[in-house]
């Protein structure tokens, strides 16, 4: 997925469930290893829910993202919050050149990356002290699998989970500590029509009246009422936090600080 795809997602990230990191166990783990002298690198930062939450307690934060729109929103948010120790770098990891940082974060990016090995190798090379990576512990589509089967008549190929990341890291000679935590599902739909639009895209259905009508019928008994709107029938999803460091050998590409 290129920058155009992610640029188009920016509004969803500005207000949706991915807008805030408060209460997210990944943030509390990152806070544990971040102090006044710590430099932080957030790879695939999006509009910066982790970068902005960590900046007030860090020395410096660098946010890298392939999407100019995500980073532009991040800079606007930083200005509004008076955060002045945060720099943004536009470009695809691992091609961008940045200095090594004490703590490297990467949250919910790996499943959308075409080639995980070079991505993780450079993440490791950029890590001075600790790398933290978060990824679903459950196939992303596991919950909506019955809906997929209803429309497509076959199982959906499973999406990658943290087990795939652990395996690729092991191939690179990196043993990650794994912790599986429950993260509250924050997805909310104001109306059934909003849910139909979202699920129709996710289930790769044509934009026809027949598909919308059938999906509406299925979703009205499947979604649960919550906070004046609707939510998927799961309160939390298992998420894996992978941690490792320090790197085993100095990188030639990245300058130590």
Ligand X SMILES: C[S@@+](CC[C@H](N)C(=O)[O-])C[C@H]1O[C@@H](n2cnc3c(N)ncnc32)[C@H](O)[C@@H]1O
The residues that touch ligand X, with contacts defined as CB under 6 A, are 6, 18, 44-46, 49, 64-67, 70, 92-93, 107-109, 112-113
- Residue 40 Cα to chain centre, angstroms: 17
Residue in the shown chain whose Cβ atom is closest to ligand X: 46
- Burial (CB < 10 A; 0-12, 13-18, 19+), residue 228, is exposed
**Closest separation between CB of residue 54 and ligand X, Å?**
12
Closest CB to ligand X among residues 38, 134: 134
Nearer to ligand X (CB atom), residue 63 or residue 230: 63
Question: Which helix or strand (DSSP H or E) is residue 101 part of?
Answer: strand 101-107
Instruction: Check if the beta carbon of residue 247 is closer than 8 Å to that of residue 127.
Output: yes
Residue ranges in the chain assigned as alpha helix (H): 3-7, 10-15, 25-32, 49-54, 68-81, 116-125, 145-152, 162-171, 192-202, 209-222
When the beta carbons of 18 and 30 are compared against ligand X, the nearer one is 18
| Nearer CB in complex with ligand X: 112/224 | 112
CB 224 within 8 A of CB 233: yes
> Please, what is the minimum distance in Å from the beta carbon of residue 230 to ligand X?
22
Query: What is the smallest separation between the CB atom of 66 and ligand X, expressed in angstroms?
Result: 4
Q: How far is the CB of 18 from ligand X (least distance, A)?
A: 5
CB burial string 18-41: b at 16+ within 10 A, e below: bbebeebbbbebbeebbeeebbbb
* 18 versus 205: smaller Cβ distance to ligand X: 18
At its nearest, how many Å lie between ligand X and the CB of residue 212?
26
């Amino acid at each position: 997925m290129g920058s155009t795809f992610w640029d188009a997602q920016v509004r969803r990230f500005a207000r949706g469930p991915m807008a805030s990191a408060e209460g997210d166990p990944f943030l509390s783990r990152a806070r544990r290893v971040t102090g006044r002298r710590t430099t932080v690198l957030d790879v695939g930062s999006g509009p910066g829910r982790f970068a902005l939450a960590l900046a007030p307690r860090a020395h410096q934060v660098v946010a890298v993202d392939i999407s100019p729109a995500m980073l532009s929103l991040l800079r606007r948010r930083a200005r509004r919050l008076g955060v002045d120790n945060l720099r943004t770098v536009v470009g695809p990891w691992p091609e961008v050149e940045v200095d090594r940082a004490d703590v490297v974060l990467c949250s919910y990016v790996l499943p959308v990356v075409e080639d995980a090995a070079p991505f993780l190798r450079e993440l490791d090379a950029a890590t001075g002290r600790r790398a933290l990576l978060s990824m679903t512990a459950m196939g992303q589509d596991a919950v909506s699998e019955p809906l997929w089967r209803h429309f497509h008549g076959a199982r959906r190929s499973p999406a990658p989970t943290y087990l795939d990341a652990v395996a690729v890291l092991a191939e690179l000679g990196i043993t990650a500590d794994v912790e599986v935590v429950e993260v509250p599902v924050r997805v909310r739909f104001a109306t059934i029509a909003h849910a139909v639009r979202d699920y129709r895209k996710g289930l790769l259905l044509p934009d026809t009246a027949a598909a919308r009508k059938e999906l509406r019928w299925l979703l009205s008994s499947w979604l649960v009422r919550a906070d004046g709107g609707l939510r998927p029938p799961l309160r939390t999803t298992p998420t894996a936090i992978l941690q490792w460091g320090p790197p085993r050998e100095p990188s030639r590409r990245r300058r130590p600080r």
